[in-house]
Amino acid sequence: MSSALTLDTDIDEIIENFSFLDDWDDRYGYLIELGRALTPLDDALKNDRTKVQGCVSQVWVTSQEAGGLLQFRGASDAHIVSGLVAVTLALFSDRTPSEILSLDERETFQKIGLEEHITPQRANGLRAMVDRIKAIAAAS
């Protein structure tokens, strides 16, 4: 598995693409597009063990280690949340556990403008997803 996204999109490209979009309707559209580009998660992986607690929508995150790097996959049952999953996976995948633990995701989310433009429930879910990924890294 080379990437969590079927598109060849990394976090720097996502940030750059967001910077070109002035209107938040366009940014939401881009989030939805990113979510649609996620590699589908097998239904067998959508279970209580992989479910992210604290999200209003259904969100699942899985991980595997390859060559000292953690790779994440994920899915959601909601379009915009799937986009948030895609952004989060692009930010954290293919990094060492120590890189993941030291990464300040808030800086990236601020560059994109996420926290001030998503609902409080989605912001809580985004934090829960980040906490889950960092817990996986801490246990690795």
Write down the pLDDT at residue 123. Answer: 87
Q: Please report whether residue 71 resides in a domain.
A: yes
Residue 39 within a domain: yes
Give the pLDDT score at 98: 96
Q: Is residue 94 part of a domain?
A: yes
Q: Is the pTM of this model over 0.85?
A: yes
Q: Which residues of the chain have pLDDT under 70?
A: 1-9
DSSP notation for 71-101: EEEEEESSHHHHHHHHHHHHHHTTB-HHHHH
Summarised one tens digit per residue, pLDDT across range 17-32 is 998 988 889 999 999 9
Rg of the chain on CA atoms, in Å:
14
Give pLDDT, residue 63.
96
Active-site hit among 14, 31, 34, 55 = 55
In order, the DSSP letters of 24-45 are HHHHHHHHHHHHHTBPPPPGGG
Structurally, how many domains does the chain consist of? Answer: 1
For residue 43, give its domain range.
Answer: 11-139
The verdict on residue 117 lying in a domain is yes
55 labelled catalytic? yes
